[in-house]
Chains A and B, each alone.
Chain A
Amino acid sequence: MIPEPYLQALFGGALIGLATALLLLINGRIAGVSGIFARALGFRGTDLGANLAFVIGLVLGPLSYSVIYGAWPAAEFRMPLLFMALAGLLVGYGTRLGNGCTSGHGIAGLARLSPRSIAAAATFVASGVVTVFIMRSLEML
C-alpha cells in the first residue's frame, strides 16, 4: 500500500501530465514553464496571448485550491531572502541557457525520450544533489 502523500504526489503528477498532453495535442506546444514564462514576458517568440494565459492559469490553479480547501497546501520557507535572490538568478539564467527546466526537459522531454532532455534532467538532478550535499556539509540545512 502506497502512503497517502505519495498517492497525492502521483495524482497531482497525473494532472500535470494531462496539462502537458493537452498543450501538445491541441496547441502543438511543449509545456515548458521556463520557456512559456520567458515568452509571456515578451522576450522571445510568438503567441504572447496563449503564453500569458498559461501563466495566469498556473497562478489561478493553486489559488482555487486554497479557496476550495480553505488554505494553501503546507509549505515551509526557511531560506534567507539573500539566498532566494541568488537562487532565482541562477534558475532564471540557467533555464534559458539550458533551454528548459523540470517541466520542459523533466516531464515533456522524458515523455518523448528526447536525448537532450534526458541529458539535461540528469545534469540538473546531479547538480542539485551535489549542491544539497554541500549545503548539508556547511550546516546550512
Chain B
Amino acid sequence: MTATLRTFIALLAGILFGSGLAISGMLNPERVRGFLDITGAWDPSLAFVLVGAVAVAAVGNLLSKAMSKPVLDDTFHVPESNGQIDQPLLAGSAIFGIGWAISGLCPGPAIASIGRDVSTIYVFVLAMIAGILIHSGQTTESDS
C-alpha cells in the first residue's frame, strides 16, 4: 500500500516537473543554450527558472528538517552533506556541461520532450541511454 502511494506521488511529481518545464520555456534548446551564451545573445530565462525552483525547493528542505521521516518512508534518502568534492564529481559535471551546451538539453527537458515527434529528441535520448550504459559497464554500483 505504501509503495503504491509512493508510486502515485512520484507520478504526480513527474507531471508537475514536466508541466513546469513546458511553462518555463526550458523545452526550447536554444533558450537553454542562450543562458550559457554570455558573450553572445544572453538569455537569462534559465536563471529565473532556477530562482523559482530553488526558492520553493528550499522551503521543502526546511520543512523536512522539522520531520523525523518522510510521510511515506522510514528515512530520507538524501546524500550526506559532508560528502567529498572528488574528481568523478567534477569530471562528470564538466563532461555533462559540454553535452548540455552542444545540445541545449539536459536529462529533464530531453525526457519531457519524448512525446514530441522530433527525431532530434529520440537520437539524443537513445545516445543518453548509451552513455548511462557505458558508465554502468565500468562500475558496479550497489547504492540506491
| A residues adjacent to B (C-beta < 8 A) | 5-31, 33-34, 37-38, 41, 43-47, 49-51, 53-66, 72-79, 81, 83-99, 101-103, 105-108, 110-116, 119-121, 123-129, 131-133, 135-136, 141
Q: Do A116 and B85 touch across chains, with their CB atoms under 8 A apart?
A: yes
Chain A neighbourhood of B29, CB < 8 A? 75-79
**Is B1 among interface residues, defined by CB-CB distance under 8 A?**
no
B40 to A, closest residue via Cβ:
A136
A133 to B, closest residue via Cβ:
B39
Partner of B141, one of A24, A44, A79, A85: A44
Q: What is the bound-complex CA distance between A26 and B9, given in angstroms?
A: 8
Q: Do A94 and B22 touch across chains, with their CB atoms under 8 A apart?
A: no
Q: Do B55 and A90 touch across chains, with their CB atoms under 8 A apart?
A: no
Name, among B10, B26, B48, B132, the residue most crowded by chain A CB atoms within 10 Å (CB to CB). Answer: B10
Chain B neighbourhood of A47, CB < 8 A? 3, 6, 144
Q: A6-B44, A21-B59, A87-B99 are in contact. Are A16 and B49 (CB under 8 A)?
A: yes
Q: Do A8 and B36 touch across chains, with their CB atoms under 8 A apart?
A: no
| B residues adjacent to A (C-beta < 8 A) | 3, 6-30, 33, 36-40, 44-46, 48-61, 63-64, 67, 69-73, 75-79, 81-85, 88-108, 110-116, 118-121, 123-136, 141, 143-144
Q: Do B13 and A31 touch across chains, with their CB atoms under 8 A apart?
A: yes
- By DSSP majority rule, is chain B's interface helix, strand, loop, or mixed? helix
Name, among B50, B57, B113, B144, the residue most crowded by chain A CB atoms within 10 Å (CB to CB). Answer: B57
Q: Do B78 and A101 touch across chains, with their CB atoms under 8 A apart?
A: no
Q: What is the bound-complex CA distance between A85 and B82, given in angstroms?
A: 35
Q: What is the bound-complex CA distance between A123 and B100, given in angstroms?
A: 12
Q: A22-B12, A102-B108, A112-B81 are in contact. Are A84 and B95 (CB under 8 A)?
A: no
Q: Do B50 and A87 touch across chains, with their CB atoms under 8 A apart?
A: no
Q: What is the bound-complex CA distance between A131 and B35, given in angstroms?
A: 12
Q: What is the bound-complex CA distance between A108 and B110, given in angstroms?
A: 19
Q: Give the distance to chain A from B136, nearest Cβ to Cβ, in Å.
A: 5
Chain A neighbourhood of B77, CB < 8 A? 28-30
Q: Do A62 and B22 touch across chains, with their CB atoms under 8 A apart?
A: yes
